[in-house]
A and B are shown apart, each in its own frame.
Chain A
Amino acid sequence: MAVNEKDIDSILEAYPAKVKRNRKKHIVIKDSSLAHQEIEANTRTIPGIITNRGCAYAGCKGVVLGPIKDIVHITHGPVGCGYYSWLTRRNKAKTLEDGKNYLAYCVTTDMQETDIVFGGEKKLAKVIDEVVEIFKPNGVTVSATCPIGLIGDDINAIAKAAQEKHGIPVMAFSCEGYKGVSQSAGHHIANNGVLEWMVGKGEMTEAPAKYSINMLGEYNIGGDSWEIERFLKEIGYHIIAVATGDGSYENLKNTHVADLNLVQCHRSINYIAEMLEIKYGTPWLKVNFIGVEATVKSLRDMAIYFGDPELIQKTEDVIAREVARVEPILNQYKKICEGKTAFCFVGGSRGHHYQKLFADLGIDTVLAGYEFAHRDDYEGRQVIPDIKPDADSKNIPELHVESDKKLFKLKISPEKAEELKKKIPLSNYEGMNAEMKDGYLIVDDLNHFETERFVELLKPDIFASGIKDKFIPQKMGIPSKQIHSYDYSGPYAGFNGAVKFAEDVTAMFTTPTWNFMTPPWKYKPMLEGTVEEEGN
């Protein structure tokens, strides 16, 4: 199964020489005999290549801000950008008694040519007024699209004036699509804003309950967060805020008092996690709730952090019960899945996380990669000092935070933290590469051309990715599972999620449809008989 450099070269041969050299650096064959394998990531997309990457606006409004339910998110720009990010990520949110859940709405300033010529500031100000009057939200965000930065609308000034006028937070995000090299830039911009304008605005000064945590980088797609919260609450954790799945300004503003921050999607939220540590003294723990084994490990790591024997016992009790419940079911599905191979190419964390769920089912991930991750998501956070900032990353403002004079509270002593770091991924992420098997492929920013060629080369049994690329393998006769929005299924996280995923994937393997792909006349004659020549 293992791939060699020659295979890769023969695929990249089709590119112009310069592109070939560039792409080669984004592809690594895992080899654990080497001290370190570097991969190029978070660099400019090659023009003309059919990439799966999106833009800064998509990362800011679409990913991080979008799921915050009690805030109305205004897209400042022409109609398309708002429309295209309308509910497409399937973030679920429960409406509470206050009725403030605006996720189903797409609100845009719908700029016209005249607005581009004369500026859109007045229109934006009116739209904010209308939105506050219609919805009475707990806050408003304004996300800028490409033309806004170019025509120079001062969205920060408009937001500030509106905030004073209406007495609710109005937050402007300069996440124009051309910023950075992918949606990753937008995550960073959104993280800065959430930390600056939401976190720390609440009344709480200390944790409201024992084992208070925040869950960062969990977006409640298909209800993932609800499944995770189910067992976390049972074990005894108190969840202050989820950033940002089923999240709300009401909860996020008290993020600062938690004892621990969990980081699920490292790429999209690590900035906040880091800044929370500096500003409020709360360390973060890298978790992965995708896959039974990964979930169990994450729960144990959390228990180690708190170190309370009672909590550890409760954790073990819940694990034992849940595993005993789901394992027999998973084992049934495993009979069908075992020995199969997968491609796993998603986002900035799921390319790693879902490998664990596939592994639970006996499926080997032979090619994995991220659309928009950075080197640390592949190689681990220890490489961060080695990453040289380029022109594109310098364009994203870094938020410099200091410890908050009033609210900073060291949650654990530095000595204890050092001790814990030896046992659990505290304020650390080891990256995807560490867990890949030798000979398997790691590909950054996989494109349509390479998808087709790598599928031909490795012939995986299942292709896990997004909607844009899922139809390529499907057309080649290979089932495709959408890991962005789950093909309207889910949740896939936690124990119940693993069962749901196993059920969905197994159903894809076993559907009778695949049996009909080769028409019968291709392999056996439909009519049997002999042709007699005339006159015989």
Chain B
Amino acid sequence: MKRDKANYRNVNENPCNMCMPMGGILPFKGVEQSMVILHGSQGCATYMRRHIAEHFNEPIDVASSALNEKGTVYGGEKNRKQGLDNLIKLYSPGIIGILTTCLAETIGEDIGRITSDYRNEHELHRLPIITVPTPGYGGSHTEGYWLAAKQIVSGLARQTPRHSKINIIVPHISPADIREIKRILDRMDIDFTLFPDFSDTLDRPFSKTYKKIPNGGTRIADIAAMPGAAATVQIGITIDDDLSPGRFLEREFGVPLYNVPIPTGLENMDLFMNVLTEITGSCMPLSLEQERGRLLDCMIDSHKYNFEGRSVIFGEPELVYAVAKTCMENGIFPVVAATGSKNAKLAELLTAEIDKYERQVVLLMDSDFDQIRQNSTSAGANIAIGHSDGRYLTEREGIPLVRLGFPIHDRVGGQRVLSVGYLGTTMLLDRVTNTLLENKYKNYRSSMYEQFYHNGHENNISGKILLSGTEG
């Protein structure tokens, strides 16, 4: 059973989401030799670069057309053209993404026309320029991510003769997660195009020679050939069809689409493997079967601790679904699941899962951290799983936080957090269980003392039982 709680307040107090262009930058970082320019005030690019850099610990070069007051009156075309000139001269990118912002959309810039004019004037017929309308008020960073991903695919895809590759489209997961998915596909000898692949560009290995545009990213030619693929496996069950690159490939080119959840959790990963084996005919390699076995062993090792967990899960819809399921199959039952995005599908999908259990879960869509905090305390949550802004749950309510998702700005290594596949799930589950244990150890002695020696009375006759795990 679930309970929906609408937020009747107008104020957003401590947001749980960011704005649309922020999310739109990321898929471009997963394409080879790409550069992004934001059409609007320079502050947008600066703020977003700052946040992305802090999470990935990488330089994030995002240009801006640096519109000023004059641009708001006369239009920003001149600035944007100049911006593109400079960007091309300095970076020689292989592809350019143009994202709009509140400013450009509110003054009604026709970026499509400006772009085609620019292309014709400069005879840039071979340089792909992808435009994405991403006003900050148009949605959260999640919608920005998917819209940009879809625009890239629809802008580059070309009618291609059938080939044996499969398309793998990934949501906003960590570079380590992307690498793990690639490893699994390699183990299975599957020929694939993974998009967007920011596993190297946003987590580049140290090498003394600095490159302005890092190596890596999905090849443009491979994206162009996605319409010829045997199938698309899209990790994105919560996205709208309008924003879905996989649905686009299906509708326009007839590529069969398999939408699957993030392969975090045993069932989700089994489903991912099933889909892959069904499409390709390859079987599960022994090494992966062993990884599955180890995950099961891990789940058995920790089940006697996990049942004490009452989790609050928050972040991007796709992540919330996968983590909630992982928690459910391990008895760390979610009491609150929340996202800052407006996402009807997530609510529907989670309700279907929750209905299998006789439990109460508060689902919060379009939420903020004030609402999440209040619901977490009233539901007695004792572990939080999500991005860094959930640290308030720890600071205010003593609910420990397992950092997962984006952004992780108060710890290092956000780009290296692995939580997909049997291996990644095992690692995540251990982190969660150990966080519960750490809290238990921290309070165990005092709660025992409380139980048996309360008020100096040895062997407290009332026999009041205090659960160590439920104490602050």
Residue B208 CB within 8 A of the other chain: yes
Whether B392 contacts A55 by the Cβ 8 Å rule is no
Q: A44-B68, A78-B135, A177-B103 are in contact. Are A58 and B46 (CB under 8 A)?
A: yes
Residue A306 CB within 8 A of the other chain: no
Of the listed stretches A45-53, A257-265, A284-292, A408-416, chain B binds A45-53
Closest to B214 in A: A475
Q: Which residues in A have their C-beta under 8 angstroms from that of B173?
A: none
Of the listed stretches B52-60, B425-433, B455-463, chain A binds B52-60
Contact of B42 among A45, A113, A518 (CB under 8 A): A45
Whether A15 contacts B82 by the Cβ 8 Å rule is no
Most A CB within 10 A of own CB, among B14, B48, B65, B71: B14
Whether B43 contacts A55 by the Cβ 8 Å rule is yes
Q: A49-B63, A477-B208 are in contact. Are A84 and B9 (CB under 8 A)?
A: no
Q: Which residues in B have their C-beta under 8 angstroms from that of A83?
A: 15, 17-19
Closest to A47 in B: B83
Tell me, rounded to whole Å, the shortest Cβ–Cβ distance linking A17 to chain B: 10
Q: A130-B11, A477-B208 are in contact. Are A79 and B136 (CB under 8 A)?
A: yes
Tell me, rounded to whole Å, the shortest Cβ–Cβ distance linking A221 to chain B: 15
Most A CB within 10 A of own CB, among B19, B47, B72: B47
Q: A116-B137, A130-B9, A468-B53 are in contact. Are A51 and B42 (CB under 8 A)?
A: yes
Q: Which residues in A have their C-beta under 8 angstroms from that of B51?
A: 84
Q: How far is the CA of A392 from the CA of B107 in the complex (A)?
A: 19
Whether B66 contacts A15 by the Cβ 8 Å rule is no
Most A CB within 10 A of own CB, among B37, B41, B43: B43
Tell me, rounded to whole Å, the shortest Cβ–Cβ distance linking A83 to chain B: 5
Whether B44 contacts A177 by the Cβ 8 Å rule is yes
Per-position contact with A for B17-60: 1 when CB-CB < 8 Å, else 0?
11111100000000000000100111110111111011001111
Q: Which residues in B have their C-beta under 8 angstroms from that of A468?
A: 46, 49-50, 53, 59-60
Q: Which residues in A have their C-beta under 8 angstroms from that of B10?
A: 109, 123, 126-127, 130
Whether B11 contacts A475 by the Cβ 8 Å rule is no
Residue A80 CB within 8 A of the other chain: yes
Whether B14 contacts A106 by the Cβ 8 Å rule is yes
Most B CB within 10 A of own CB, among A50, A55, A181: A50
Whether A395 contacts B89 by the Cβ 8 Å rule is no
Q: How far is the CA of A472 from the CA of B211 in the complex (A)?
A: 9
Of the listed stretches A145-153, A158-166, A274-282, A358-366, chain B binds A145-153
Contact of A108 among B12, B86, B208 (CB under 8 A): B12
Whether A146 contacts B106 by the Cβ 8 Å rule is yes
Contact of B89 among A16, A84, A130, A392 (CB under 8 A): A16
Residue B353 CB within 8 A of the other chain: no
Q: Which residues in B have their C-beta under 8 angstroms from that of A113?
A: 135, 137-138
Residue A85 CB within 8 A of the other chain: yes
Per-position contact with B for A74-99: 1 when CB-CB < 8 Å, else 0?
10011111111110100000000000
Q: How far is the CA of A74 from the CA of B11 in the complex (A)?
A: 9
Q: Which residues in B have their C-beta under 8 angstroms from that of A1?
A: none
Q: Which residues in A have their C-beta under 8 angstroms from that of B69?
A: 178-180, 391-392, 395
Tell me, rounded to whole Å, the shortest Cβ–Cβ distance linking A137 to chain B: 13
Q: How far is the CA of A81 from the CA of B102 in the complex (A)?
A: 11
Whether B46 contacts A54 by the Cβ 8 Å rule is yes
Contact of A79 among B12, B47, B57 (CB under 8 A): B12
Q: How far is the CA of A48 from the CA of B107 in the complex (A)?
A: 20
Whether B59 contacts A449 by the Cβ 8 Å rule is no
Interface residues of B in 61-118 (CB under 8 A from A): 61-72, 79-80, 82-87, 89-90, 101-103, 106-107
Residue B206 CB within 8 A of the other chain: yes
Closest to A448 in B: B61
Q: A48-B87, A80-B19, A476-B208 are in contact. Are A104 and B46 (CB under 8 A)?
A: no
Whether B59 contacts A51 by the Cβ 8 Å rule is no
- How many A-B residue pairs have C-beta atoms within 8 angstroms? Tell me: 229
Residue B304 CB within 8 A of the other chain: no
Whether A15 contacts B90 by the Cβ 8 Å rule is yes
Whether B102 contacts A77 by the Cβ 8 Å rule is yes
Whether B66 contacts A46 by the Cβ 8 Å rule is yes
Closest to A391 in B: B70
Residue A517 CB within 8 A of the other chain: yes
Q: How far is the CA of A205 from the CA of B208 in the complex (A)?
A: 62
Interface residues of A in 1-58 (CB under 8 A from B): 14-16, 19, 44-58
Interface residues of B in 207-254 (CB under 8 A from A): 208, 210, 212
Q: How far is the CA of A467 from the CA of B407 in the complex (A)?
A: 15
Residue B297 CB within 8 A of the other chain: no
Q: How far is the CA of A55 from the CA of B42 in the complex (A)?
A: 6
Whether B59 contacts A472 by the Cβ 8 Å rule is yes
Residue B140 CB within 8 A of the other chain: yes
Most B CB within 10 A of own CB, among A123, A126, A150: A150
Whether A178 contacts B67 by the Cβ 8 Å rule is yes
Whether A84 contacts B208 by the Cβ 8 Å rule is no
Q: A53-B46, A58-B43, A110-B12 are in contact. Are A178 and B86 (CB under 8 A)?
A: no
Closest to A371 in B: B46
Tell me, rounded to whole Å, the shortest Cβ–Cβ distance linking B95 to chain A: 15
Residue B438 CB within 8 A of the other chain: no
Closest to B63 in A: A48
Per-position contact with A for B177-216: 1 when CB-CB < 8 Å, else 0?
0000000000000000000000000001010101010000
Whether B41 contacts A55 by the Cβ 8 Å rule is yes
Q: How far is the CA of A460 from the CA of B430 in the complex (A)?
A: 43
Whether A48 contacts B82 by the Cβ 8 Å rule is yes
Q: How far is the CA of A149 from the CA of B72 in the complex (A)?
A: 10
Whether A146 contacts B40 by the Cβ 8 Å rule is yes
Q: A47-B65, A147-B137 are in contact. Are A15 and B89 (CB under 8 A)?
A: yes
Contact of B210 among A111, A115, A475 (CB under 8 A): A475
Contact of A15 among B61, B70, B86, B210 (CB under 8 A): B86
Whether A448 contacts B59 by the Cβ 8 Å rule is yes
Interface residues of B in 128-187 (CB under 8 A from A): 135-138, 140
Q: Which residues in A have their C-beta under 8 angstroms from that of B53?
A: 467-468, 471
Tell me, rounded to whole Å, the shortest Cβ–Cβ distance linking B428 to chain A: 25
Residue B13 CB within 8 A of the other chain: yes
Residue A131 CB within 8 A of the other chain: yes
Q: Which residues in B have their C-beta under 8 angstroms from that of A48?
A: 37, 63-65, 82-87, 90
Q: Which residues in B have their C-beta under 8 angstroms from that of A15?
A: 86, 89-90
Q: How far is the CA of A46 from the CA of B67 in the complex (A)?
A: 10
Whether B47 contacts A58 by the Cβ 8 Å rule is yes
Per-position contact with B for A353-389: 1 when CB-CB < 8 Å, else 0?
0000000000000000000000000000000000000
Q: How far is the CA of A183 from the CA of B61 in the complex (A)?
A: 20
Contact of A150 among B66, B103, B340 (CB under 8 A): B103
Whether A85 contacts B13 by the Cβ 8 Å rule is no
Q: How far is the CA of A52 from the CA of B47 in the complex (A)?
A: 10
Q: Which residues in A have their C-beta under 8 angstroms from that of B85?
A: 16, 48
Q: Which residues in A have their C-beta under 8 angstroms from that of B210?
A: 452, 472, 475-476
Whether B89 contacts A178 by the Cβ 8 Å rule is no
Whether B66 contacts A79 by the Cβ 8 Å rule is no
Closest to A145 in B: B102
Q: How far is the CA of A286 from the CA of B50 in the complex (A)?
A: 31
Contact of A146 among B15, B41, B54, B70 (CB under 8 A): B41
Q: How far is the CA of A85 from the CA of B18 in the complex (A)?
A: 11
Closest to B91 in A: A449
Whether A78 contacts B19 by the Cβ 8 Å rule is yes
Whether B86 contacts A110 by the Cβ 8 Å rule is no
The 23 sampled A-B contact pairs (Cβ below 8 Å) are A16-B86, A47-B63, A47-B64, A47-B66, A47-B82, A48-B87, A50-B61, A55-B46, A79-B18, A84-B48, A86-B389, A108-B12, A116-B135, A123-B10, A147-B103, A147-B106, A178-B40, A181-B68, A395-B69, A468-B46, A468-B59, A475-B59, A477-B208
Q: A78-B135, A475-B59 are in contact. List 15 more A-B contacts (CB 8 A).
A: A16-B89, A45-B42, A55-B42, A78-B136, A80-B22, A80-B47, A80-B136, A81-B43, A86-B389, A108-B15, A116-B106, A127-B10, A179-B69, A448-B61, A468-B49
The 10 closest A-B pairs by CB, nearest first: A55-B43, A80-B19, A48-B83, A48-B86, A47-B83, A177-B41, A78-B136, A84-B47, A110-B12, A78-B137
